[in-house]
Structure 1
């Protein structure tokens, strides 16, 4: 049972943060995928030059990829065992892409949404057969491919273990959405939500909250049902917020928005690994895990996407309104032993303290917009923050 009102005075704000820390290696590894947009800094419109930018940084580098549209690039970090190592890798790859983007007359944007109204038609990667088939089958749903997320991989886990762990992590997915909320503006207007991407992406029939699986066989049956029904072309299109990876021996947390804040990114990764470590500990001890009702958890997911970190969330078991910040602090308390064992507690505590003080990415975007009512200012803010490493 989540205890959202529990004080975190014993953990929050402790330690010196990630920079200069010397965390002990952890058994569980970390990897992060980050998705970026490319924009023209004169108009702040999307710039369909992803292929050119990729070519200029060496083409076949395994850490850098194209994405669903010609405006997007993706970083796939090397496998890391420490948070500081992960931060260094992400910072290095971001610098590389940002420099290449500028050389092609555009800016790299760590944003889940294009902010400005898009110009039709959307430039999908139709040169890829899979993208063509996806467009033909799903039509206007492919407009949501422009949304950029952050995916956290924790390994090494076999499928049986990943499924059992995922069941225990599900109740915390709304809190991870609130922590990462960074998409209040979409298609030229304020959506009234902190993470519109979470809702837009959830419109895919294979996306959103994963089921609670009674067994690995149940998990495999659910995936096969998506394929047989036509809701997914292949296992790569299993877009649940949390899933055993189809490509790697990892559990993949896909819920959070992309954001420029690198320390917040590492916070999300550290929390993800600690969630897995805590679930493994509890499984080994035979501790029971209450299963939240799906109707409450769906509402908790929406409320997290609506309010973000500044408003309220829902206790995933009771449905009671709870300050989102209190849920975030409860998550830190819940994970403190695992964070400490991995050497991540100091950074996680300091990063969460900073996030609660400065506000979520959505809050900061709205603050920039409120000064002059300019969405161009919001995009300029996001581009500068992406390069502030």
Structure 2
């Protein structure tokens, strides 16, 4: 039985443990990690993407170690990445190990890590001083200045670019529920935004971000990307911020819609569902089944709805594109991918992980619970620090 490999990239905030304010120390944390046994090399910081394809590493051994820590767009955050994994157990181990490695390195500079998609405490972020990031800051003004956001990107292997485009065309309606179940950014700049995922609102400001129409062929996909870059509105191909895209350097599709998950278990659940969606879509493509022609304008509304309320209310149903209770939409998602989950041996784990999430709530729900108990924003962050490491 062939099972697709899956890997996860997580962006994390670097936090002052007493105030909860993000600290601009990513370069120092990465140097500390390297000097204390991490094989990472921050020479790549000058020209790397924001969490895109250059971060996806081909695992060459049995997966015991995780990949090095990496810098991100803002100095108050860093990124971890797992190796490609075949089992959810291996993936969970790698996610936990990556978070521990990031925490250990942050402790070297007196900081903590928090898996928060936006900072609840007010902060003035500072751009990582690389040539590419500084050009982005100049070109995009306030959009770039306010992009202290942390996502979770899932890479799923595909057999060819043609299969990859077939997958992209067929998973489009099912991506908003993935955002809803990972929503983890209700607070921003010391304010309750009224959104479960305000990160998605901030991220959608980029000119290339969001859902896409149908591509139907690799040529159409490549032509679209080339036209976007030639328009002058993007600095390079790395700034093609589709909700899901083909990797430039590796045989994967990258699903980019999720907030970084507060709990590692939720990141595993996200990855399992993303892999099952890709497998289901690939089977449909090979069978000649036509993709849902739902327009990107409707998908944008579906993503907004998921961002606004998370699992507390209604979502647009991926089949009917009409409002439906969030729990019904998640049930439909699991039903849609059940054969793929069974093939990978993931169905029981997904049901267990989803049940746990529905009982305790999303990261956004857990953050709100701290506030409802009378906690200040600093306490929201401190609670998140504990939950990031599973305490």
TM-score normalised according to structure 1 size: 0.90
Give the Cα separation in 2 of the matches to 1:348 and 1:334. Answer: 13
In 2, distance between residues paired with 1:94 and 1:252? 21
Query: Could you tell me which of 167, 170, 173 is aligned with 1:171?
Result: 173
Higher relative contact order (CA 8 A, sep 6+): 1
Equivalent residue for 1:315? 317
**Aligned equivalents of 2:113, 2:375: Cα separation in 1:** 23
Aligned partners of 1:293 and 1:317 also within 8 Å: no
- Written as runs of structure 1 = structure 2, the 5 A alignment for 1:120-139 is 122-126=125-129, 128-139=130-141
Alpha-carbon distance in structure 1 between the residues aligned to 2:3 and 2:352:
23
- Is the contact made by 2:184 and 2:262 (CA closer than 8 Å) also made in structure 1? no
Alpha-carbon distance, 1:220 to partner: 1.2
Pairwise CA RMSD:
1.5
Paired residues of 2:163 and 2:285 also in contact (CA < 8 A): no
| Equivalent residue pairs, number | 362
Contact (CA 8 Å) 2:279, 2:340: kept in 1 or not? yes
Cα deviation, 1:328-360, whole Å, max 9, x if unaligned, reads: 111011111111110111110001111111111
Listed as ranges, the matches of 1:166-315 within 5 Å are 166-315=168-317
| Structure 1: distance between partners of 2:212 and 2:120 | 28
| 1:30 equivalenced with 2:6 (yes/no) | yes
SS in 2 for 1:231: coil
Distance in 2 (alpha carbons) for counterparts of 1:137 and 1:60: 33
Q: Is the contact made by 1:144 and 1:201 (CA closer than 8 Å) also made in structure 2?
A: no
Distance of 1:94 and 1:274 partners within structure 2: 25
Segments of 5+ residues of structure 1 without an aligned counterpart are 1-24
Q: CA deviation at 1:373?
A: 4.5
- Report the equivalent of 1:331: 333
Report if the CA contact (8 A) 2:76-2:126 is conserved: yes
Q: Name the CA distance, whole Å, in 1 between partners of 2:250 and 2:68.
A: 15
Moved over 4 A (4+): none
TM superposition score normalised by structure 2: 0.89
2: CA distance, partners of 1:317 / 1:266: 25
Q: What CA distance in whole angstroms lies between the structure 1 residues aligned with 2:102 and 2:246?
A: 29
User: Does the 8 Å CA contact 1:111/1:260 hold for their aligned counterparts?
Assistant: yes
CA contact (8 A) 1:83 1:266 kept: yes
Specify the SS of the correspondent of 2:286: helix
Deviations 1:223-273 (A, max 9, x none): 112211222211111111100112321000000000221111011001111
Asked if 1 retains the 8 angstrom alpha-carbon contact of 2:137 and 2:145, the reply is no
User: What displacement does 1:40 show?
Assistant: 0.5
